[in-house]
C-alpha cells in the first residue's frame, strides 16, 4: 500500500457517502481514517485495507450496495458497446477481444472526477481502442491457451463484464475448461453472480465460482476450497482490473495474466509499466 493509496481510498469513501447519504460524510471519513491509521504500515496490502474500510463505510451508510444505480447504468452502456467489442474480436481475434475487454476496465467510479458516469465510455471507447496495448503479452497468453486444459478468469466491474464476453468466447475456442469468478457479495462496482446470470456467462463458462464474500479484489481467506484447488491446478489464470492485481500478485499462483488499464501510479509501478495504458501482462 503506497502513501498515495490513502487519499484515493478516502476519496472513494466520500464518493460512496454522497451517493447514499451526504449527511453521513463526516461519520464515514472519521471511521475510515481510524481504520487507515490502524492498518497503514509497511507491507500492508492495499486491497485488504480497502476491504476493511469499505465494509465499515457500508455499515455506516446502512446499505449493501451504494453503487447499485451506477452499476445498472454501466451495464446498459456496455450493452450498447458490445457490438463494437464483438467486431474487434472478429477482426483481430484474441488480441482484439482482449483490447475491448481492457477498455471496459475504465468503468470504475469514485477515484477520479472526470470518470463521473458510464456515459464517458461511449465517448472514449474508440479513442481507447485506437491507443491499443501499451504493454502487450497477448501472443504469449494465447500460446499458453493453445496448450492449456484449465483456465480461470477473474472478472472485475459491472459493465466491464459485458465487454468481457467476446474474450471469454475466444478463450473457449481453445477447448479449455473455463472457470469464471465473480464477487461473492456486492463490493464497489464489481460484478456478481447476478451479472453472470443476466448476461449468460453461466452458459459460456464451464463453471462459475465466487470470491466467497465481501472483499476488494480476492481474499485468500474467503475463497472456497474448490476455488483454491482450481487455482493450484490452473494452466492459466487471467485476472481483470487493478484490485485483482493488488490481491493476486501477493500469491504464488502461476502463470497469471493481468488485463487492465493502469489507472494509478502505484499499480503501474508495481507492474513495471507506465500509468494510463492498456495492459496485457503475463507473469510466470
Q: Return the residue matching grid coordinates 493502469.
A: 262
Tell me, rounded to whole angstroms, the distance of Cα 265 from its chain centroid.
17
Predicted TM-score (pTM) of the model is 0.95
C-alpha cell at 155: 472478472
Residue 107 has pLDDT above 70, yes or no: yes
Q: Note whether 215 and 53 are within 8 A (CB).
A: no
Higher pLDDT, 107 or 213: 213
C-alpha cell at 189: 462496482
Each domain of the chain, given as residue ranges in start order, spans 5-61, 68-283
Q: Return the residue matching grid coordinates 499458453.
A: 144
Q: Assign domain 5-61 to its CATH architecture.
A: Orthogonal Bundle (1.10)
Residue 220 CB-half CA count within 13 A: 12
Count of Cβ atoms closer than 10 Å to residue 157 Cβ: 30
pLDDT digits (tens, 9 = 90+) for 52-100: 999 999 999 999 999 999 999 999 999 999 999 999 999 999 999 999 9
pLDDT digits (tens, 9 = 90+) for 224-251: 999 999 999 999 999 999 999 999 999 9
What pLDDT is attached to residue 24? 98
Domain boundaries 68-283, corresponding CATH code? 3.40.50.10880
Mean pLDDT value across the chain: 94
Q: What is the DSSP letter of 22?
A: G
Q: 18-34 in b/e burial notation, b at 16+ Cβ within 10 A? A: ebbbeebeeebeebbee
Amino acid at each position: 500500500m503506497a502513501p498515495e493509496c490513502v487519499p484515493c481510498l478516502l476519496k472513494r469513501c466520500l464518493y460512496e457517502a454522497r451517493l447514499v447519504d451526504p449527511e453521513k460524510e463526516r461519520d464515514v471519513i472519521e471511521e475510515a481514517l481510524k481504520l487507515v491509521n490502524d492498518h497503514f504500515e509497511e507491507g500492508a496490502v492495499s486491497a485488504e485495507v480497502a476491504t476493511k474500510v469499505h465494509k465499515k463505510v457500508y455499515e455506516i451508510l446502512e446499505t449493501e450496495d451504494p453503487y447499485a444505480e451506477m452499476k445498472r447504468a454501466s451495464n446498459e452502456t456496455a450493452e450498447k458497446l458490445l457490438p463494437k467489442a464483438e467486431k474487434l474480436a472478429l477482426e483481430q481475434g484474441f488480441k482484439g477481444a482482449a483490447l475491448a475487454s481492457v477498455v471496459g476496465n475504465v468503468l470504475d467510479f469514485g477515484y477520479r472526477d472526470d470518470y463521473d458516469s458510464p456515459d464517458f465510455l461511449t465517448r472514449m471507447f474508440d479513442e481507447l481502442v485506437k491507443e491499443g496495448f501499451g504493454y502487450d503479452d497477448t501472443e504469449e497468453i494465447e500460446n499458453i491457451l493453445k496448450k492449456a486444459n484449465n483456465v480461470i478468469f477473474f472478472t472485475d466491474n459491472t459493465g466491464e463484464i459485458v465487454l468481457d464476453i467476446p474474450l471469454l468466447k475466444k478463450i473457449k475456442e481453445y477447448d479449455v475448461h473455463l472457470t469464471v469468478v465473480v464477487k461473492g457479495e456486492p463490493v464497489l462496482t464489481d460484478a456478481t453472480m447476478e451479472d453472470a446470470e443476466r448476461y449468460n456467462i453461466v452458459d459460456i463458462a464451464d463453471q462459475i465460482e465466487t470470491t466467497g464474500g465481501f472483499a476488494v479484489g480476492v481474499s485468500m481467506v474467503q475463497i472456497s476450497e474448490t476455488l483454491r484447488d482450481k487455482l493450484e491446478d490452473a494452466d492459466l489464470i487471467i485476472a481483470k482490473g487493478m484490485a485483482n492485481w493488488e490481491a493476486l500478485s501477493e500469491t504464488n499462483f502461476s502463470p497469471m495474466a493481468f488485463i487492465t488499464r493502469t489507472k494509478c501510479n502505484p499499480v503501474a509501478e508495481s507492474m513495471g509499466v507506465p500509468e494510463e495504458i492498456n495492459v496485457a501482462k503475463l507473469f510466470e
